[in-house]
Amino acid sequence: MTQNEVKKMIILESIFYGLFAAVIGIAIGTALSYSIHVLFAGALDIAWTIPWYSIGIAFAGAMITTFVATIWPMYRLLKVSIVDALHREN
């Protein structure tokens, strides 16, 4: 694999992980938000709505965090020759 192919593979993998984490996190967070609303529905007379703004912020945060967490290891990996690293390990 060339360095550009490795970069592309790592970036696509990080996008996949970010999307997966965002979808799972948003689903769990929304379910917990609704559960808390139902729990306190007797004390508060407030209608529950889907928090689209918060969902957008959470999605953007998950994607940015995943991308930033991928950058440093990717450049570190590209500096090292994989063949040399395997020789040093054995």
- Residue 59: what pLDDT? 93
- Residue 2: what pLDDT? 77
Measured distance CA(33)–CA(35) in Å, rounded: 5
- Residue 90: what pLDDT? 65
**Residue pLDDT, tens place only, 60-87:** 999 999 989 998 888 888 887 777 777 7
**Residue pLDDT, tens place only, 11-60:** 899 999 999 999 999 999 999 999 999 888 877 778 888 989 999 999 99
Q: State pTM to two decimals.
A: 0.72
Q: Read out DSSP for 8-34?
A: HHHHHHHHHHHHHHHHHHHHHHHHHHH
Nearest one of 59, 73, 57, 58 to 11, comparing CA atoms:
73
